[in-house]
Amino acid sequence: MNPPRLLAALGSGLLFGLGLALSGMMDPEKVLGFLDVAGAWDPSLAFVLGGAVGVSALGYALKARMERPVLAPRFEVPANRSVDARLLAGAALFGIGWGLAGFCPGPALAGLTLGLPQVALFVAAMLGGMLLYRLTMERPPSPRGAGHRA
């Protein structure tokens, strides 16, 4: 284990959790108020969204100037940039779940520290859904590997 990487990961996680707590993202009522654009809309989380987009943009600008990350051998950036049916279905499912429960994975995991039963139930359902996906949708690797000739 690399102690500097572990400390960086711990610091990043703590900062992320603190940001979720301070912004109100761990409060499902606040999140549902933000998502209710046709009703009693609470626009305050738009500032959280704007801040996240700004930090991400700065990160990508910094990445463009760096040869490699400080604590890793290479950058891990998704290569697939295509929009397909699986991506759209996953995004829709995520949005529907977020709109129904008022939680998404990050705030729910941070919310476990509050000891609320509804958070634990959401996380259990989320983990169950991940397991169900793994059991039903992921395909095992083909016995014909990349180096195998037909």
Per-residue pLDDT tens over the stretch 101-132 = 999 999 999 999 888 899 999 999 999 999 99
Single out the residue of 93, 98, 96 nearest to residue 108, CA to CA.
98
Amino acid 150: pLDDT: 42
- pLDDT category at 80 given cuts 50, 70, 90 is confident
Q: What does residue 37 show for φ and ψ, rounded to 5 degrees?
A: -70, -20
Q: What's the pTM? A: 0.74
Task: Please compute, for residue 3, the number of CA atoms within 13 A of its CA located in the half-sphere on the CB side.
Answer: 0
Structure tokens of 79? 């290569």
Given a cut of 70, is residue 148 above it in pLDDT? no
Give me the amino acid identity at 38. Answer: A
Outline where the chain has alpha helix (H). 3-23, 28-35, 45-65, 85-101, 105-111, 117-136
